[in-house]
């Protein structure tokens, strides 16, 4: 289906308290990055505090409904419906908190000069509801789907290993964790402290 109302989009509550309303995924858009965010209520986060230093995305946040208090590079700006912030510099820290009930922010992002690549965080966010209800098969399926397109993405492999470890697929978990660490060694350090791996930490080959 090619038409949807903002209110019909999935509401995925993320651990940091904001609510992701997937648009790109909803329509399987391949050419560009577009999503919406809402909040649990006034005063709650609506845009995660982050930089785009890794992905190098330029971003536009447009308030569709209500008001949001944005903090960009340490400066506060309260934006109302129809106002937007364009963050050109990927290294600037940005975040926002909802001011009104029912605030919705549209987020656009992409890397200049490159064909659009679906961001790996989308699959990780999309798997959160399944993980919350301990439906590990579904959480693993969502990661597998993303990995089919990005087979060597260390964070996706690491997250997949977490889901597999929790779901009792210990051999798969170990293999995917090893692969993540081989691609990017920092994941070994994370794995040592990650409670998801409690069940496989004693296994031979655990990084």
Partner 1 sequence: MSGESAGDGYEILSIDDLERLPTTQGSQLLLPLRRTVGFRPFGVNVWVGAQPGDHVIERHREQDGHEELYVVLRGTAQFTLGDDTFEAAPGTLVHAPPGTLREATALTAETTVLALGAKSGEAFTPSAWEDFYVAYAYARRGEPERGRAAMQAALDREPTAWQGSYNAACFEALVGETDAALEHLRRAVERDRAAVLQYAPEDTDLDSIREDPRFSEILETR
Q: How far, in Å, CA of 123 to CA of 44, rounded?
A: 23
* By CB under 8 A, residue 55 contacts partner 1: no
Q: Helix or strand or coil: residue 127?
A: coil
Quick one: which of 189, 154, 185, 157 has its CA closest to 173?
157
Chain residues 115-174 in contact with partner 1, contact rule CB under 8 A:
115-116
Q: Identify which of residues 26 and 179 has a Cβ nearer to partner 1 in the complex.
A: 26
Integer CA distances (angstroms), 48 to 3, 8, 15, in order: 27, 22, 10
* By CB under 8 A, residue 88 contacts partner 1: yes
Q: Helix or strand or coil: residue 124?
A: helix
Q: Tell me the site size for partner 1, rule CB under 8 A.
A: 48
* By CB under 8 A, residue 107 contacts partner 1: no
Q: Which H or E run includes 79?
A: strand 75-80
Convert residues 21-40 into a mask of x (bound to partner 1 by CB under 8 A) and - (unbound). Answer: --x--xx-xxxxxx------
Other beta carbons less than 10 A from residue 102's beta carbon: 12
Q: Identify which of residues 111 and 179 has a Cβ nearer to partner 1 in the complex.
A: 111
First to last CA, the chain: 45
* By CB under 8 A, residue 74 contacts partner 1: no
Instruction: Please identify which residue in 108, 146, 161, 180 interacts with partner 1, judged by CB under 8 A.
Output: 108
Residues that bind partner 1 (CB under 8 A): 2-7, 23, 26-27, 29-34, 57-58, 60, 62, 64-65, 72-73, 75, 77, 79, 82-89, 91-92, 94, 104, 106, 108-116
């Amino acid at each position: 289906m090619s038409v949807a109302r903002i209110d019909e989009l999935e509401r995925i509550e993320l651990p940091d308290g904001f609510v992701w309303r997937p648009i790109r995924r909803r329509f399987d858009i391949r050419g560009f990055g577009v999503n919406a965010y809402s909040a649990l209520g006034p005063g709650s986060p609506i845009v995660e505090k982050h930089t785009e230093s890794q992905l190098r995305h330029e971003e536009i946040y447009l308030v569709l409904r209500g008001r949001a208090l944005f903090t960009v590079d340490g400066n506060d700006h309260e934006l109302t419906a129809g106002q937007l912030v364009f963050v050109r510099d990927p290294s600037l820290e940005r975040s926002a908190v909802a001011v009104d009930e029912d605030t919705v922010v549209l987020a656009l992002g992409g890397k200049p000069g490159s064909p659009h690549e679906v961001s790996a965080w989308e699959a990780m966010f999309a798997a959160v509801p399944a993980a919350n209800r301990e439906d590990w098969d579904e959480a693993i399926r969502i990661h597998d789907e993303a990995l089919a397109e990005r087979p060597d993405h260390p964070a996706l492999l690491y997250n997949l290993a977490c889901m597999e470890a929790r779901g009792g697929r210990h051999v798969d978990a170990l293999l995917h964790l090893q692969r993540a660490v081989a691609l990017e060694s920092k994941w070994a350090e994370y794995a040592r402290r990650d409670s998801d791996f409690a069940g496989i930490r004693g296994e031979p080959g655990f990084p």
